[in-house]
Amino acid sequence: MKFYAREWDELILISVLILYIIGLANIASASLVGTVFLKFNPFIYKRLVLQVVAGVLGFFIAYLITKFDYEKLKNPKFIYSIMSLNISLLVLVLVIKYVRHMPVNRWLFGGSLQVSEFSKIVTVVFLAYYVSRKGQVSATKELFFASFIVILQSILVFLEPDRGSAIFLLFMGFVMLWVGNAPPKVLYPATVAFGLLAVAFLLLKTGGNYVEGRFAAWLNPFVKAN
């Protein structure tokens, strides 16, 4: 079965557009603040223009995806290949971080790819394939495998550190098992495991005051973030 653009959910599309516009407004605010005190410089619009181009490209890719038959994603070679690639990239991010003695590293290729965002997409595709292939995730060994993949990714992301994305991956794992009608004997232990790890992520502190500094800079653009 193939999806076409006319079948797009209008509510989701409008929500994405609103979030995109809010993002542009924030980038414009952060990029252009203070320019009233400076001479006109066209390069100050670079980030804003790049974001607009990226947004247009993203919507075009979304349109192409609606024409893709998702049944083709059931190919196990494809599923395990993208998951292996994803985990390898997460490990590479950490290797670069520790080799260069960086307090925080979430990006590859000069800031062009934030692997944790790619992980979210891969996790949904992988667990959807896994649950649909197994029918219901009921066997203990299947639970261990599915949970291990989600937990492994979340730990790697947390070490970047990216606390929010790490917890979100755990939440996605729970939601996918729940939506996939996992029986209680599987869903309950998985929920406990994901929940305990999420609490641990909340209690542990990594990366210094990086997040606090970025948030302070967002509240007050004249404050330099760490």
Q: Quote the CA–CA distance of 172 and 123 in Å, as a whole number.
A: 8
pTM of the model: 0.75
Angstrom CA distances, 68 to 29, 73, 75, 145, 176, stand at 37, 10, 14, 29, 22
Q: Quote the CA–CA distance of 195 and 197 in Å, as a whole number.
A: 5
Give, for all 226 residues of the chain, the pLDDT tens digit: 444 445 667 788 888 889 889 888 887 776 666 555 555 566 667 777 888 888 899 888 888 887 877 777 788 888 899 999 999 999 999 999 999 888 888 888 766 678 898 899 999 988 888 777 655 555 567 777 888 999 999 999 999 888 989 999 999 999 988 888 877 877 888 899 999 999 999 998 765 555 666 666 666 666 554 4
Closest CA to 26 of 58, 48, 50, 59: 48
Q: How many CB atoms lie within 10 A of CB 103?
A: 11
Q: Quote the CA–CA distance of 64 and 60 in Å, as a whole number.
A: 6
Q: Quote the CA–CA distance of 186 and 142 in Å, as a whole number.
A: 9
Q: Domain extents for the chain?
A: 5-68, 72-212
